[in-house]
Amino acid sequence: MNEINVSIPYSFFKMTFTSFFCASLVHTSSTSIFAINQAKKYWILMDSELRKEIIAQCEYIQEYSKAKNTLKGFLGWAKENIDAEHRKSLQRPLVDILPAVNLKQ
């Protein structure tokens, strides 16, 4: 699949992702599973407010979802990973930074 990399404001990403996620959960089980997989894929980009919103929507929609078991599993995963580090920038150094060592000891 071809990808298009664009830069958008985070507030727009939050609004768009929340709308997509909620709308996908109430359709077929395949759209629910796709939305859940996308949420897991982009979880590291989400701030705590968006993560809490996703979890709240899952809990609300869980009873009506076509993919109840998958949604239940995702809820467990999401609650377990709610405090995963939010990566504000995807830029990384080419090499990992090593801690300073005191050689005089």
Closest to 88 measured CA to CA, from 13, 35, 34: 13
Of residues 31 and 85, more confidence is placed in 31
Q: Give the model's pLDDT for residue 15.
A: 92
pLDDT digits (tens, 9 = 90+) for 33-83: 899 999 999 898 898 899 999 999 888 887 777 677 888 889 999 998 888
Model pTM above 0.75: no
Tell me the residue type at 41: K
The encoded tokens of residue 25 equal 């959960």
- Per DSSP, 44 falls in state G
- Provide the pLDDT confidence category of residue 16 given band limits of 50, 70 and 90: very high
